[in-house]
């Protein structure tokens, strides 16, 4: 009897299938406490810090992108390009690319920076432009003359690459002109162009433009019909010839080495290399930036100076999209400009 009871007890103490081994028997109805380890806590902390760090980095990335992309659009910073005594400065103002109203504003801002700095003794206008709009070229020309008159400081034009048409128009506002040996200049003249869309609209697209006007010449020139000889002569007399006469007069005023007859002979739209331009007295000297600096120092009456230039700071939006040269957008302003005649001081051979 006792043996049978002991045998039953012995069987109950044997490990059962699918049950964990335990050295201590557990009384029925008593829950086994769960085993907690430090690893779960450790990985929980690591995960929390990782999520928090990613959020902070994301916010910082947004801030950096906003800082570079939205930064001041028309801000210029001063950059030293040639060391020298800081009490004397030669400021290089850059005129690069097609001249338009935006380019005119940029040049004006650079000239204003030079005007506000009393240590600037002379200005070098570095030109690499085939020209552009008549108004933009004239605005830059006027700003240079105003700086010379108001500040009494010399301005030297330095032609680097191309300084044709409007690029030359702005250069003759300076005291002296120096050009690199490979520069192209001249192209004194006016060009006008516009698109005639009549055949495209009427024959290809089936669109019939309707124009209501108060007088016959109100819509001359008209992009919706081919011009007549009378209309072309009208534009020649009203726009091209006056703009050309002004260009000739500007060159005559800015180049005392030339008389009016010389300027009129040269103002046939021809371009000139540096050697020929020097022979024709369109420029004063052939050289590089170092020679332009020496000329500016001589005109300012000083022996040495720190040479600085004004440039726009880095902008992420400029890098990605390029201000003024970004993705072409079709809007009503672009369509108006596309269909409107353009009167330009521009050399189109580039």
Secondary element (H or E) of residue 5? helix 2-13
Q: Which of 165, 171, 183, 315 is catalytic?
A: 165
Give residue 311's region: left, alpha or beta (phi > 0; psi -120 to 50): beta
Name every residue whose Cβ is closer than 8 Å to that of residue 82 and which is 6 or more positions away in sequence: 90, 293, 306, 307
Q: Find the catalytic residue in 217, 218, 238, 241.
A: 218
Edge-to-edge strand order for the sheet containing 131-133? 131-133, 342-346, 191-193
Measure Cα distances from 11 to 5, 18, 19, 28 in Å: 10, 16, 15, 16
Contact, 188 vs 155, CB < 8 A? no
Tokens of 341: 């005649």
How many angstroms separate the Cα of 309 from the Cα of each of 19, 50, 254?
Answer: 84, 46, 25
- Read off the tokens for 81: 């390009």
Judge whether 241 counts as a catalytic residue: no
* Residue 165 is among the residues annotated as catalytic for this protein: yes
DSSP 291: H
**Which residue do the tokens 């006792």 mark?**
2
- Active-site positions read 165, 218
């Amino acid at each position: 009897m006792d043996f049978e009871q002991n045998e039953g007890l012995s069987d109950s103490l044997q490990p059962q299938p699918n049950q964990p081994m335990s050295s201590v028997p557990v009384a029925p109805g008593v829950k086994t406490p769960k085993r907690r380890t430090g690893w779960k806590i450790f990985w929980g902390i690591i995960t929390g810090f990782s999520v928090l760090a990613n959020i902070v980095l994301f916010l910082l990335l947004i801030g950096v992108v906003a800082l570079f992309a939205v930064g001041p659009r028309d801000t210029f910073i001063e950059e030293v390009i040639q060391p020298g005594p800081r009490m004397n400065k030669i400021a290089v103002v850059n005129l690069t690319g097609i001249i338009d109203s935006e380019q005119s504003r940029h040049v004006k801002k650079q000239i204003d920076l030079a005007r506000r700095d009393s240590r600037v003794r002379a200005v070098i206008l570095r030109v690499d432009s085939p020209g552009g709009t008549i108004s933009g070229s004239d605005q830059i020309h006027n700003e240079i003359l105003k700086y010379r008159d108001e500040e009494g400081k010399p301005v030297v034009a330095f032609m680097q690459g191309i300084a044709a048409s409007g690029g030359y128009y702005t250069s003759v506002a300076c005291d002296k002109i120096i050009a690199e040996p490979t520069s192209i200049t001249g192209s004194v003249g006016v060009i006008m162009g516009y698109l005639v869309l009549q055949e495209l609209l009427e024959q290809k697209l089936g669109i019939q433009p309707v124009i209501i006007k108060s007088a016959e010449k109100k819509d001359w020139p008209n992009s919706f019909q081919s011009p007549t000889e009378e209309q072309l002569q009208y534009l020649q007399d009203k726009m091209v010839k006056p703009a050309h006469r002004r260009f000739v007069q500007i060159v005559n005023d800015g180049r005392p080495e030339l008389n009016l007859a010389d300027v009129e002979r040269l103002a046939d739209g021809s371009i000139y290399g540096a050697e020929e331009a020097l022979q024709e007295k369109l420029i004063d000297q052939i050289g590089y930036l170092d020679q332009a600096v020496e000329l500016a120092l001589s005109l300012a009456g000083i022996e040495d100076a720190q040479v600085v230039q004004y440039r726009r700071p880095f902008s992420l939006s400029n890098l990605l999209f390029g201000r003024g040269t970004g993705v072409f957008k079709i809007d009503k302003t672009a369509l108006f400009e596309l269909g409107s005649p353009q009167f330009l001081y521009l050399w189109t051979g580039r």
